[in-house]
Amino acid sequence: MKNEKTKLDNIDLSILSELQKNGKISNVELAHIVNISPPSCLRRVKSLENRNFIRGYNAILNPELLGFKVTVFAHVGLESQAETDLKIFENYISLFPEVRECYMLVGEVDFLLKIVAKDWDDFQTFLTKNLTQAPKVSNVKTSLNIRSIKSLPEIPFEIMSE
């Protein structure tokens, strides 16, 4: 039997799809698009929020226009993969706002970080004073982002029916 938390019907999926396209859409507009009444739509949205299908709402900003001209991906290897060492690094790296994304990986590296900085000098300062000095870090390899070709934070609803 399916867990009650994960039960979604086609209307729920339509609501999620529309909200990820436009988080500012009014409840009335959303209800019209998914073809249900506004009170029913609001109840469904609240239920999706309460069940954590919707984790939040935010605006997608242009980092370059706000002065963040450098994006770097850092591949970080640790001295060991013991759970305590992983947690030590995770807790340490979570303190730095420059690190916008952090993924623990299986393979050649332990962590992949997405780091933003105002300029190359700011990044180098972060790298030498914070990242390479992080506890349990054995090596760091970086790749400078030249251009972002595709960045889609949304779920690909269009392939769910395949």
Stretch (H or E) spanning 90: helix 83-93
Asked if residues 36 and 11 have their Cβ atoms less than 8 Å apart, the reply is: yes
Residues 74 and 140 in one domain: yes
Judgement on whether residues 41 and 101 belong to the same structural domain of the protein? no
Q: Indicate whether 23 pLDDT > 50.
A: yes
Per-residue pLDDT, 2: 45
Whether residues 132 and 76 share a domain: the answer is yes
117 pairs with which residues across the strands?
A: 70
Distances (CA, A) of 121 to 70, 113, 117, 144, 151: 10, 18, 9, 13, 25
Q: What is the CATH number of the domain that holds 32?
A: 1.10.10.10
Domain that residue 21 falls in: 7-50
Residue with tokens 């039960």: 7
Asked, for residue 157, whether it belongs to a domain, the answer is no
Least confident among 5-9, 78-82, 91-95? 5-9
- Identify the CATH number of the domain in which residue 119 sits: 3.30.70.920
Whether residue 17 is contained in a domain is answered as yes
Indicate if the alpha-carbon torsion angle 18, 20, 23, 27 is positive or negative.
positive
User: pTM here?
Assistant: 0.83
- 95-147 pLDDT, tens digit each: 999 999 999 999 999 999 999 999 999 999 999 999 999 999 999 999 999 99
The predicted structure's pLDDT at residue 29: 97
Q: Is residue 109 part of a domain?
A: yes
Same-domain status, 29 and 74: no
Examine residue 29 and state whether it is found in any structural domain, yes or no. Answer: yes
Is residue 1 pLDDT above 70, yes or no? no
Total number of domains in the chain = 2
34 with 41: CB under 8 angstroms? yes
Whether 83 and 132 map to the same domain: the answer is: yes
* % of residues, the chain, pLDDT over 90: 86
Domain assignment present for residue 152? The answer is no
Mean pLDDT (whole number) for 16-29: 95
* 36 and 82 fall within a common domain: no
